Structure 1
Amino acid sequence: MNNIHQFTSKELILEKASQWISAIDRGLTKEEQEQFKLWMLQSTAHQNAVYELAQLWDDLSVLNELSVLFPNKQPANSKTKPAYVFGMAASIVAALMMCSYLLLNIDSNFNKNLAKVNYTKIYKTKVGEQATYVLPDGTIVQLNTNSSLEVAYSQGRRQLLLSRGEGRFNVAKDASRPFSVMAGDKSFTALGTVFNVQRNTSSDLELVVTEGKVMITDPSVAVNADDFKAYQQADNNNHEIRQINANIVISGEKAIIEQSVTKPITQLSVDDVQRDLAWQNGMLIFNGEQLVDALNEVSRYTATRFELSSDELARIKVAGVFKAGDVAGLLESLQNNFSIEHERLGEHVVSLKYQKKS
């Protein structure tokens, strides 16, 4: 008997659209392309939801993929065009405006060419806030809630320090300057890649690679340009990789580091990747987590903390998709699906317990 309870939501279309956007950014298989086309053609509401989210997405590859899957087949002088064509145009314009805005907001008081070589800055997000930044070399960084990232570029190296939180890194290729993110007591060096790092504590970290390779090392291991070229071709059986006690993680894999020890690297399914990276669409996806763990994840995006009345309540397994920080929607779903009532004990504390039977 399945003891995982499915949440219901009033915004299932938007939630499904966010999953498709995430999948497009990762790259659709031929089978997924057909499934996506069928889903899009089922209703204009599906199309509108996808293009609405595409306007907010930080990667133009999504827009490019959409234009390939749904090209404008109407003659240039046609008076009537499908709704999604106009949505596509709006999405492209919005995305270009977003990119322009981000680029203009990079400090304009320094020489841009010099900044590509020597650049230092600290980026932060508040609890519940997410932000995207374009670095001088073209690298795109997306920070999750309550994160802090220090960037230090020099002539021979691009070094970043994630002192708190979580970030997605779409790294601009530059073989002459390796790109490394330090978090806790580990360093993550991009070998031509897009990857996500979550820092839970100084010794507990998570890495998800969605493109290319990432090498995990101790921060004391300095990777120069010559090393970088060799490591790009290496795998975990390589002598040099073993010698520096490193781990290579490739696209579609996840590494969990607990108490400074890298656990065996795992291969992720498409659903696993979407669930781990749903925050990039402002969503949270649960698939069988205990309620206490799900609530801890929700609390990362809000000042609200939850108190559970019993261990039995804490161990309920849940599944569903939610907007990050939507505490009201969460409480409504708990009431409707589990008969769990809530009581506010203060501005930021919510007590949960089973509803009394009348």
Structure 2
Amino acid sequence: MSNVHQFNSKDLILEKSCEWISAIDRGLTDDEKEQFKLWMMQSTAHQDSIYELAQLWDELSVLNELSHLFPQRNNTKATKNKWMFSYSIAASLFAALMVCSYLLINLENGYNQELAKVNYTKIYKTKVGEQATYVLPDGTIVQLNTNSLLEVAYSKGRRQLLLSRGEGRFNVAKDATRPFSVMAGDKSFTALGTVFNVQRNTSSDLELVVTEGKVMITDPSVAVDANDFKDYQLADNSTQKIRQINANIVTSGEKVVIEQSVTKPITQLSMNDVQRDLAWQNGMLIFNGEELSDALNEVSRYTATRFELSTAELASIKVAGVFKAGDVEGLLESLQTNFSIDHERLGEHVVTLKHHTES
């Protein structure tokens, strides 16, 4: 997330640091540990703030250790200096705790509800076969498909997300002052007032479908700020500014496939094509002439079951139909009824398929 520039108000950073210190004191969950690492990596100011607060606690521990090493010091001046030093540290700690308490009270009173829209980090993920919908603080709606991992980092100047695996649909809340970008593999997708779907197959193999507005595809190194945002909104693929940054603009009803980091020509989708590509958003899978091997690979995204095909001829059979995502038994029954394809289970998660006539 090297392109994320965090909103570095000292008060905001101190407030967040107080929250983390409190969470660390009670013990972090695994999810919180990942979120904490992400937050610490975003700025040296975050790291400094955490360590400064932590050192206040550490220095009190040091004083206790010194009292054991040098008990009953008779030097009045040394005693006075030690008392003054101890008092200074205690006062600093008290002041820090008072600030934390004040900030946390304000948080409880709703002080941070608006700030959360500006400065926000969180990790969202789904398990195999799971789909989930989330509403981000700015009102953006994110729907994650099976086995997906999404990291969100909002700052004052931008809204940046990292899709580490899987697939997501993004219904983006409009905010011209903070561009919204999803980075997946070696491409970045910037919304220009948009609803769009990104599928990450590998870091270099991606798919984009735009159902509303426009999306600009760039390399992750291209930073889109508010000053350029309006220009990009009005641009198309013939605009010089777009060509200069080697970008592609994809509009509503269009799809782009990226293979081995190469952006293929933009294709126009019919309504049926859109429904088929995005059927997962309704928990369904639609096939319309795909090879059986490709269809089974898609089914496998939603289940732990893996399929083995007996022949290359079987793998190339064209299939069509509507299936519930993850419904392996329904798929096997349909293959047997419509294509005379038998199946055999080898253990809990492996299914072999063969023609009914094969022995």
- Normalising by structure 2, what TM-score? 0.69
| Residue 132 (structure 1) aligned with residue 133 (structure 2) | yes
Q: What do the CA deviations read for 1:50-83 (whole angstroms, capped 9, x no partner)?
A: xxxxxxxxxxxxxxxxxxxxxxxxxxxxxxxxxx
Q: 1:356 matched to which residue of 2?
A: 357
CA 1:123/1:110 → structure 2, altered by over 3 Å: closer, same or farther?
A: farther
| Residue 275 (structure 1) aligned with residue 287 (structure 2) | no
Q: 2:72 matched to which residue of 1?
A: none
Considering Cα pairs closer than 8 Å and 6+ residues apart, tell me whether 1 or 2 has the greater RCO. Answer: 1
Q: 2:191 matched to which residue of 1?
A: 190
Provide runs of 4+ in structure 1 moved above 6 Å: 107-110
Separation (CA, whole Å) in 1 of partners of 2:166 and 2:210:
17
Higher helix share: 2
Q: In structure 1, give the amino acid aligned to 2:317.
A: I
Separation (CA, whole Å) in 2 of partners of 1:110 and 1:340:
62
Match of 2:313, SS? helix
Residue correspondence of structure 1 range 1-358 to structure 2 within 5 A: 111-356=112-357
Identity percentage of aligned residues:
86
Q: What do the CA deviations read for 1:146-170 (whole angstroms, capped 9, x no partner)?
A: 0000000000000000000000000
Separation (CA, whole Å) in 2 of partners of 1:162 and 1:156:
20
- Tell me which structure has the larger Cα radius of gyration: 2
Q: In structure 2, give the amino acid aligned to 1:288.
A: G
RMSD: 1.5
- Cα distance, 1:289 vs structure 2: 0.2
Separation (CA, whole Å) in 2 of partners of 1:131 and 1:108:
29
- Cα distance, 1:338 vs structure 2: 1.1
Separation (CA, whole Å) in 2 of partners of 1:109 and 1:228:
31
Separation (CA, whole Å) in 1 of partners of 2:208 and 2:302:
20
Q: 1:41 matched to which residue of 2?
A: none
Q: In structure 1, give the amino acid aligned to 2:239.
A: N
Q: In structure 2, give the amino acid aligned to 1:235.
A: D
- Cα distance, 1:288 vs structure 2: 0.3
Separation (CA, whole Å) in 2 of partners of 1:341 and 1:108:
63
Q: In structure 1, give the amino acid aligned to 2:267.
A: T
Q: What do the CA deviations read for 1:285-308 (whole angstroms, capped 9, x no partner)?
A: 000000000000000000000000
Q: What do the CA deviations read for 1:208-230 (whole angstroms, capped 9, x no partner)?
A: 00000000000000000011111
Separation (CA, whole Å) in 1 of partners of 2:274 and 2:335:
26
- Cα distance, 1:192 vs structure 2: 0.2
- Cα distance, 1:356 vs structure 2: 3.3
Match of 2:281, SS? helix
Q: In structure 2, give the amino acid aligned to 1:347.
A: E
Q: What do the CA deviations read for 1:156-186 (whole angstroms, capped 9, x no partner)?
A: 0000000000000000000000000000000
- Cα distance, 1:357 vs structure 2: 7.7
Match of 2:329, SS? helix
CA 1:108/1:202 → structure 2, altered by over 3 Å: closer, same or farther?
A: farther
Match of 1:296, SS? helix
Q: What do the CA deviations read for 1:247-303 (whole angstroms, capped 9, x no partner)?
A: 000000001101101000000011100000000000000000000000000000000
Separation (CA, whole Å) in 1 of partners of 2:116 and 2:271:
38
Match of 1:172, SS? coil
Separation (CA, whole Å) in 2 of partners of 1:156 and 1:336:
56
Count of residue correspondences: 252
- Cα distance, 1:128 vs structure 2: 0.2
Q: What do the CA deviations read for 1:6-25 (whole angstroms, capped 9, x no partner)?
A: xxxxxxxxxxxxxxxxxxxx
Match of 1:346, SS? coil
CA 1:134/1:343 → structure 2, altered by over 3 Å: closer, same or farther?
A: same
- Cα distance, 1:110 vs structure 2: 8.1
